[in-house]
Amino acid sequence: MKLSNFGRKFTAKTGILQLMDDLGHAMSGSEKKYMLGGGNPAHIPAVNEVWRRRMGEIMESDGALESMLANYDPPRGNTAFMRSLAGLLRSEFGWPITERNIAITNGSQTSFFILFNMLAGPDEHGMQRKILFPLTPEYIGYADQSQRLDDYRAVPADIELIDEHTFKYHVDFAHLKVHDDVAAICVSRPTNPTGNVVTDEEVARLDAIARDNGIPLIIDNAYGVPFPGMIFEDATPIWNENIILTMSLSKIGLPSTRTGIVIANESVIEAVSSCNAIVSLSNGSIGQHLVTPLLESGDLLRLADETIRPFYLEKSKHALDCIHGAFDDSVDYAVHKSEGSLFLWLWFRNLPITTMELYERLKARNTIVVPGRYFFFGFAGDWAHRNECIRLNYAMADEDVETGIRIIAEEARKAVEAGG
């Protein structure tokens, strides 16, 4: 089979493909696995009970099941869901939006595939337009969304050392240059993989830079407020006509419904809807039907504030305690300040092996993490930091997190003692 450039690009071995393959293999077989890789949210009993209740209500309501399963929604999304979400965002944040400012996609990956390919690449004048990531490392799922390898430009983060074992990334504005070929600026908040929350001041500066250059600022809000609320720092939500804000139902416990949300000015939404019609015809309705009454009643916000956020905050504290208890002075390590999401980001300074090698050693011991190098894309510089970090998911069962972290510490210690 002879492949087109598109075919070669999207069938090549990539970080996200390797991650999903490893997760799939890890889930098979009879041996116990410690699944600290991947991004699956936790199965929170109180949240699962809400979905069971909603499914029961749909089953008992005349015609509701048929409406959810047997009808196409418009390419832009389910009207009732979008109207309810717009009402919530107006009441909570005062944003001047209606359902015409919202489009639904088949998950956040689809949102970014549409947005990146809609904005980046050759324009009508032949200029190769790019997406600018003002802070890297960034989400592994962005790396391969564009059809071209050179559609991204990224700026390595500035590192603030908070204490001996804690650090935080910041946007390095001194090296952030927006050239004529930049089509949009994109940042996630909170950030996957690091749990970093870009500060209000940083967001305001990025917004001003984007406006000054006549380009949109894309903010990935998959872990933020108002839902799922997996954010542990004070951070002001922001939206205006120049911001494209993306959200998702995945991290409230509905990843398999594949419900991505794009909030933008009406021209952007019309473009996303057109792409939806061509790529997907329509989008999945199940998540939208499940959640709409919860938006209208305020129950979804209470679920985020009273259940989801406290759950992950406690899980984060537990994982940090495990890390500081498992490592000793023989390993020079630091953890990014845990400000949100469901990940911790470990930096191994002076480890005699790369974290790709560490990843393979951990996999041999049935412990799955994600090596850091896949999160550094869009720049050609030689930054040793990209081979010194790993991402781990702390949403799993506490005993699995404890054992997995202990194994990570053992393998790192072995590498240090052996000199490689």
24 confidence band (pLDDT: 50, 70, 90): low
Tokens of 245: 């804000």
> Highest mean pLDDT: which of 2-6, 232-236, 313-317?
313-317
pLDDT digits (tens, 9 = 90+) for 111-148: 999 999 999 988 888 889 999 999 999 999 998 888 87
Q: Positive or negative, the Cα torsion across 116, 119, 124, 130?
A: negative
Whole-number average pLDDT of the chain: 93
Does the reported pTM lie above 0.85?
yes
pLDDT of residue 23: 64
Question: CA 368, CA 345: separation in Å to the nearest integer?
Answer: 14
Query: Could you give all domains of the chain from N- to C-terminal order, each with its CATH number?
Result: 5-46+303-418 (3.90.1150.10), 72-297 (3.40.640.10)
Question: CA 154, CA 34: separation in Å to the nearest integer?
Answer: 32
3 confidence band (pLDDT: 50, 70, 90): confident
Start-to-end CA distance of the chain, whole Å, equals 42
pLDDT digits (tens, 9 = 90+) for 84-119: 999 999 999 999 999 999 999 999 999 999 999 999
Return the H-helix or E-strand segment holding 135: strand 128-136
Q: How many CB atoms lie within 10 A of CB 201?
A: 10
Alpha-carbon Rg for the chain, nearest whole angstrom, is: 21
Label the pairing between strands 217-220 and 243-248.
parallel
Q: Is the pLDDT of residue 18 over 80?
A: no
8 confidence band (pLDDT: 50, 70, 90): confident
**Lowest mean pLDDT, pick from 61-65, 94-98, 130-134, 265-269:** 61-65
Question: CA 358, CA 371: separation in Å to the nearest integer?
Answer: 8
Which residue's entry shows tokens 């939006």? 97
419 confidence band (pLDDT: 50, 70, 90): confident
Tokens of 171: 């946007």
Residues contacting 417, CB < 8 A, separation 6+: 330
Residues contacting 236, CB < 8 A, separation 6+: 200, 203
Residue 317 sits at the vertex; the CA angle it makes with 311 and 322, to the nearest 5 degrees, is 125
**Lowest mean pLDDT, pick from 48-57, 61-70, 153-162, 180-189:** 61-70
CB 308 within 8 A of CB 47: yes
**Lowest mean pLDDT, pick from 142-151, 165-174, 203-212, 284-293:** 142-151
Question: CA 407, CA 34: separation in Å to the nearest integer?
Answer: 10
CB 263 within 8 A of CB 218: no
- Nearest one of 139, 117, 280, 301 to 221, comparing CA atoms: 139
User: What is the pLDDT averaged over residues 227-238?
Assistant: 95
CB 86 within 8 A of CB 97: yes
Question: CA 18, CA 57: separation in Å to the nearest integer?
Answer: 39
pLDDT of residue 2: 83
pLDDT digits (tens, 9 = 90+) for 361-404: 999 999 999 999 999 999 888 899 999 999 999 999 999 999 99
pLDDT of residue 113: 95
